[in-house]
Structures are given as C-alpha cells and as structure tokens.
C-alpha cells in the first residue's frame, strides 16, 4: 500500500486583474506542432497574453539530412538511425511532433526583441534563452527528467521499460536555487515506439502549460515538489543521448522483451474475467469466486445490482481478441451458481463500463461509448433485459468510464476525457457538475483535475465507508488497468477538488492474475475483474 498523498490540491494566492504577460523562447520558427498549440493557446487565452516570441533564428530552418547527421556525430549513429527509422514507421501527418511554422501563429509579436523585457513568465521551449526578467521565473518542460527538446527525452522509458513517462513543467530563476514543479502529468509509456510515446506525451503538453498559467492567473497554485536545479541557459542539455554501445544494448534488450511477449501470447491467452464475493462488510476476508468466460470471450467492468433480493451482475462482454463490446447480464443465485448470460444492450460501436444509477424511481444505465463520443444514458424499459436510450450527454467530448455521484442537491460527473490530438484514455481526470443527472453539465474550474495514468480513470462507482467518500480509480501507470487505487474525497465543490490516496487493490486474488481494474459493490455483493492468464 502506498503512503497517503494529496491529488494536486490548490493553495490560495492573490489573483491577477490583468492577463499574465508570457514570453516564449524557441530556437527557430520551425517547431513541432505541440509547441505551435502552446503558442496558439496563449494567444487565445483570457488568462494570459503573448508578450514576445524570441527565436535564435527568425527563419524556417529545414531538417538536417540523415547522412549529414550521421557524419556530424558518428558516436551516436545507432541512436540517430533508430530515431530516423522509428519516425519513418510511426510518424503521422498532423501529429504532435510534425513540423509547423510558428510565424503564422504569433502574428505581429516581435521575434528577437526580448532583451530587457519584463514579463510574468518566460516559457523556455528551446536551447536558446535571452536575458529576460520574469516575475514568476522561467518555465521549461521536462519529459522523463530531460528537457523536451532533448533527443533522449522519453527514450529510456520505452527502450529501458522503466515505467510511466513523467512530464513536468518546472519553474526556475536561471538556475539560482532549486527548480519547482508547477504542473505534472504521468503517462503510460508506449513500449513499442519512442515516436508514438513522445507524441502522446507532448500532445498533452499544451493543456498542462495552460492549466498552470490559468492557476497562476486565478491565484491558485498546485502543490509543488522539489526538482533538481536546472542548468543555466548556456549549458547544452543533449549530453544524455546514449552512445553506440549503450544504444545497441538497449535495442537488443528491447527486442528480447518483445520476443518473450510474443512467445507468451502464442502459448497463453490473457483474458478479462470477473469474480464475486458475498459479505456483510465492505472489508472482508471472504474469498472471491472466479467466473471464467468461454475462451472466445472476455468479461470485464462488472457492476452488481441487488433488486428485490435477487443479485445481478452487468458487465462488458466482447469477442476475444479485439471484438466489439456489448453489455450483458447474469443472475447470481443464493447458492453462488451463475445463471445464463444474456446480451441486453448493443450498439454499432463498442460499449463497456455499464454504470448504473437510480433517479426518481427509475433505473438507468450509462455505459461507456467513447468511440461514438459523449455519454449515452439508457432507461430500463423492462428490467433487466430491455433498455432504451433517453439522451446523449456531452456529445462533443470523447469520454471514458463516466461515473455519477449525487452529493446534496448537486450531481457530479467524474470522467476521463481524451486530449485533442490523441484518443489515449486513462490519464486525464475531468469533473463536471449539474442539478440533474442528465445535465446540462458545467466543467469544473480546475479541469483537468489531474493528468495521471495512476488515478485518472474511474474503476467503479464512488462509495461511502465509515462516513467517508471514496473514488476507486484505475492505476494504469505500469500497464493498462493494472490495479485499483482507493482515493478519499476530502473536498468537493465548484471551486476546488481534493482527494487522498488511501491504498491499492493489486491483482493478488488469483495466482494467474496480471491486472485488475474494477471494484463495485451493492448490498452484500462485491465484484471485481482481472486479466487472467490461461493456457491455450
């Protein structure tokens, strides 16, 4: 169990009446698209204004040819060749790393006249940096502890299998004293490609930067932690690239891990299954009983419901591997014997996570349909087998595992919302509120509440225990749906949100289990799920 830690609670500061003046420094006008989005969002935001865009070269410099790069730096030739091949295979037009001309975005803002300029924040996105006075310091983005423009940023997380990729926005006064982390995101690493992994990480960077600027403008800053001191701007930050020998060893180890995974898949199948427990208390020593689906199916995201003394389990059912999901139900007898599985809801798109709630005497289901967009709500026309759709909420957003909770006279919608430019889920925790479970919904002023693969996506309905409210969340930092974290909600209102991690449920209930990502309870029935390895 991890020690308790708060989830980015805000600390009060004085707010600003005028927009923050933000300067941006880059090395040339040709920059990755994610940097163009940062600049565009600063220009459009009411919380800040673009004071200057300082560039080391006010012209678009084309990329250096591969042959020239190899001749220029032969000691890092293996790394250069790998990155070129990785980019060729996995690059997509318009992705976060695609080249973009900043000139059209910055407009009339002067390019190289930042010397002596007094601003609130300098956002350093390149090696070059002018001498500028910044009231709140110089902010720079670091991926895996390395500057975002470092060629090795995000490399070791992929090839070294070293866990999630941590992105930090650090504030420093040109190396005088320790840097401070003003915003952080934890992203599950794509272990197949550095390009794909960096693309997801940096697609989220504009939202991270703008969230920190908005918090500064509003007079609320997130809890910060110490970080290593940043080098002075004259120092080169690309010395961490691996040499040819180190790079070759990492590639061999990476290839061996991939081959081992392929062999394991050939002889075993990793299949989502569900399990149940009956106990009077939430915390119980009673065993979980395993419900194994047929080999051609998966069962996941179980939600129990006790109606008139009868126990039902609703869950996602899909073909294995990679089939489109639908919602099914089974009844669990008093003797623990599971009844027939019946398909109750299907759409042309994938459905999962059949969240259930009651309102004004009616029973509703709110399954995930992020492939379609929005949150569909269905009413039980004839429980438990017939459901009709009554509305689609927030249709403009791609939302995963939306979860409702009524607190007083207000309804709260907890959701994972994918960032523009990527459909990656499990990492962006958003909160909405309304006077009705059907909306209209108001986004929380602190959205995204957190950018953290370790706690963003819901793992089931919120529940009370010993007078305290808990939010189960998926811990997908190491792998998708690895564990469930239990987070105590200590503040929930329209101004702030704060929760504390109180512990984890790891996949230890079944010796063959590899991951577990759902926890739900109704009456005396608790259900969970897990990826279980089964021999072919």
Tell me the Ramachandran region of residue 211: left when phi exceeds 0, alpha when psi lies from -120 to 50, beta otherwise: alpha
Q: What is the pLDDT of residues 168-186, one digit of tens each?
A: 999 987 545 567 889 999 9
Determine the pLDDT at residue 56.
76
Sign of CA dihedral 453, 459, 462, 468: negative
**268 and 236, same structural domain?**
no
**DSSP classification of residue 7:** -
Clarify whether residues 353 and 271 are in a common domain. Answer: yes
Q: What is the 3-state secondary structure (H, E, C) of 450-508?
A: EEECCCCCECCCCEEECCEEEEEEEECCCCCCCEEEEEEEEEECCCCEEEEEEEEECCC
Q: What is the per-residue pLDDT across 201-222, written as a single tens digit (0 to 9) for each?
A: 999 999 899 999 998 998 765 5
Structurally, how many domains does the chain consist of? 2
Spatial distance between the Cα atoms of 532 and 30, rounded to a whole number of angstroms: 48
Instruction: Say which CATH number the domain at 367 has.
Output: 2.115.10.20
**Residue 16's pLDDT band (boundaries 50, 70, 90)?**
confident
- DSSP assignment letter at 6: B
Q: Which residues of 458-482 are buried (b: 16+ CB within 10 A; e: fewer)?
A: bbbbbbeeeeebbbbbbbbbebebb
Q: Which of 186, 212, 242 is the last residue of a domain?
A: 242
Pick the more confident residue, 331 or 67: 331
* 416/272 same-domain check: yes
Peptide bond into 384 cis (omega under 30): yes
Q: How far apart are CA 311 and CA 290, in angstroms?
A: 16
Q: Residue 112 and residue 52: Cα distance in Å, rounded?
A: 8
> Cα(227)–Cα(211) distance, rounded to whole angstroms?
19
Q: How much is the pLDDT for 228?
A: 41
Residues 32 and 84: their CA atoms lie apart, in Å, by 16
- Answer yes or no: is 1 within a domain: no
Whether residues 202 and 349 fall in one domain: no
Alpha-carbon distance of 122 to 481, in angstroms, equals: 38
377-419 pLDDT, tens digit per residue, is: 999 999 999 999 999 999 999 999 999 999 999 999 999 998 7
User: Do 46 and 133 lie in a common domain?
Assistant: yes
Same domain, 132 and 165: yes
CB 167 within 8 A of CB 142: yes
238 and 340 in a common domain: no
200 and 272: one domain?
A: no
Domain, as residue range, for 471: 263-535
Indicate whether 317 pLDDT > 90.
Answer: yes
- Closest Cα partner for 136 from 106, 168, 169, 94? 169
Cis peptide bond upstream of 135, omega within 30: no
Contacts of 508 (CB under 8 A, 6+ apart): none
């Amino acid at each position: 169990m991890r020690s308790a830690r708060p989830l980015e609670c805000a600390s009060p500061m004085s707010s600003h009446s005028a927009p923050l003046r933000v300067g941006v420094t880059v090395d040339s006008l040709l920059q990755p698209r994610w940097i163009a989005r940062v600049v565009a969002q600063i220009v459009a935001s009411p919380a800040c204004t673009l004071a200057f865009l300082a560039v080391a070269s006010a012209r678009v410099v084309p990329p250096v040819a591969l042959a020239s790069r190899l001749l220029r730096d032969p000691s890092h030739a293996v790394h250069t060749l790998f990155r070129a091949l990785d980019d060729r295979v996995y690059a997509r037009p318009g992705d976060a790393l695609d080249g973009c001309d900043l000139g059209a975005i910055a407009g009339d803002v002067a390019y190289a006249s930042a010397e002596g300029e007094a601003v609130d924040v300098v956002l350093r996105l390149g090696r070059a940096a002018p001498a500028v006075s910044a009231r709140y310091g110089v902010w720079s983005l670091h991926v895996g502890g390395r500057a975002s423009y470092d060629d090795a940023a995000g490399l070791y997380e992929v090839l070294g299998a070293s866990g999630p990729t941590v992105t930090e926005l650090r504030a420093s006064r040109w190396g005088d004293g320790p840097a401070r982390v003003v915003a952080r995101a934890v992203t599950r690493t794509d272990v197949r490609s550095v390009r794909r992994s960096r693309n997801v990480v940096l697609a989220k960077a504009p939202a991270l930067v703008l969230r920190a600027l908005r918090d500064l403008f509003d007079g609320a800053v997130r809890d910060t932690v110490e970080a290593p001191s940043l080098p002075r701007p004259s120092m080169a930050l690309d010395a961490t690239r691996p040499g040819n020998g180190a790079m070759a060893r990492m590639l061999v180890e990476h290839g061996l891990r991939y081959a081992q995974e392929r062999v394991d898949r050939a002889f075993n199948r990793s299949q989502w299954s569900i399990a149940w427990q009956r106990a009077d208390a939430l915390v119980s020593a009673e065993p979980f009983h395993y419900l194994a689906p047929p080999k051609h199916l998966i069962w996941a995201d179980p939600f129990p419901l006790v109606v008139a003394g009868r126990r039902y389990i609703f869950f996602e059912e899909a073909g294995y591997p990679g089939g489109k999901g639908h919602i099914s139900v089974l009844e669990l007898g008093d003797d623990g014997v599971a009844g027939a599985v019946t398909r109750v809801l299907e759409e042309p798109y994938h459905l999962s996570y059949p969240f259930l709630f009651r309102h004004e005497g009616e029973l509703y289901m709110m399954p995930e349909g992020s492939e379609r967009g929005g949150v569909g709500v269905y009413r039980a026309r004839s429980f438990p087998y017939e459901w009709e759709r009554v509305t689609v909420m927030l249709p403009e957003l791609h939302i995963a595992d939306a979860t409702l909770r009524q607190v007083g006279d207000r309804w709260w919608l907890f959701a994972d919302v994918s960032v523009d430019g990527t459909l990656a889920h499990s990492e962006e925790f958003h909160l909405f509120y309304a006077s009705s479970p059907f909306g209209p919904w108001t986004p929380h002023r602190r959205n995204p509440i957190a950018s953290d693969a370790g706690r963003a996506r819901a793992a089931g309905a919120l529940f009370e225990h010993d007078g305290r409210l808990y939010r189960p969340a998926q811990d997908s930092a190491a792998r998708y749906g690895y564990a469930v974290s239990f987070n105590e909600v200590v503040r929930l209102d329209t101004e702030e949100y704060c929760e504390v991690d109180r512990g984890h449920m790891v996949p230890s209930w079944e010796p063959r289990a590899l991951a577990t990502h759902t926890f739900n309870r109704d009456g005396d029935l608790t259900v969970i799920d897990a990826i279980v390895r089964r021999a072919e």
